[in-house]
Amino acid sequence: GAVVSQHPSWVICKSGTSVKIECRSLDFQATTMFWYRQFPKQSLMLMATSNEGSKATYEQGVEKDKFLINHASLTLSTLTVTSAHPEDSSFYICSAPRQNYGYTFGSGTRLTVV
Amino acid sequence: KQEVTQIPAALSVPEGENLVLNCSFTDSAIYNLQWFRQDPGKGLTSLLLIQSSQREQTSGRLNASLDKSSGRSTLYIAASQPGDSATYLCAVSPLSGNTPLVFGKGTRLSVIA
Print burial letters for B72-111: b (CB count within 10 Å at least 16), e (below 16): bbbbebeebeeebbbbbbbbbbbeeebebbbbbbbbbbeb
| Rounded-to-integer distance, Cα A103 and Cα A9, Å | 20
For position A1, what pLDDT does the model report? 66
State the nearest Cα–Cα gap between B28 and chain A, in angstroms: 17
Percent of chain B with pLDDT over 90: 89
For residue A46, give the chain B residue with the closest CA.
B100
What local confidence, expressed as pLDDT, does residue B26 receive?
A: 96
Say if CB A31 and CB A74 are below 8 A apart. yes
pLDDT higher than 80, residue B16: yes
pLDDT at B110 over 80: yes
Whether pLDDT at B41 is above 90 = no
Counts of helices then strands in chain A (DSSP H, E): 0, 11
pLDDT at residue B112, rounded to an integer: 97
Average pLDDT (A12-25) is 97
What is the structure's pLDDT at A7?
A: 97
Three-class DSSP category at A67: strand
Mutate to test the interface with B, among A103, A104, A110, A112 (most CBs of B within 10 A): A103
The span from the CA of B68 to the CA of B33, in Å, is 9
Q: Is the pLDDT of residue B18 over 80?
A: yes
In this complex, the residue of B41, B101, B105 whose CB is nearest that of residue A103 is B101
Please give the mean pLDDT across all residues of chain A. 94
Chain B residue numbers touching A108 (CB-CB < 8 A): 41-43
Residues of B in contact with A34 (CB under 8 A): 100-101
Per-residue pLDDT at A2 exceeds 80: no
pLDDT at B57 over 70: yes
Chain B contact for A62, CB < 8 A? no
Residues with Cβ within 8 Å of A37's Cβ and at least 6 positions away in sequence, in order, are A44, A45, A47, A90, A91, A92, A93
At residue B59, does pLDDT exceed 80? yes
Opening angle at CA A30, ends A54 and B23, nearest 5: 110
Residue B98 has pLDDT above 80, yes or no: no
Beta bridge partners of B66: B73
Cα separation, B7 vs B22, whole angstroms: 5
Q: Do A108 and B43 touch (CB under 8 A)?
A: yes
Using one digit for the tens of pLDDT, what is the confidence trace for A52-103? 888 999 999 999 999 999 998 999 999 999 999 999 999 999 999 988 889 9
Please give the mean pLDDT across all residues of chain B: 95
Is the minimum CB–CB distance between A89 and chain B shorter than 8 Å? no
Phi, psi of A101 (to 5 degrees): -115, -5
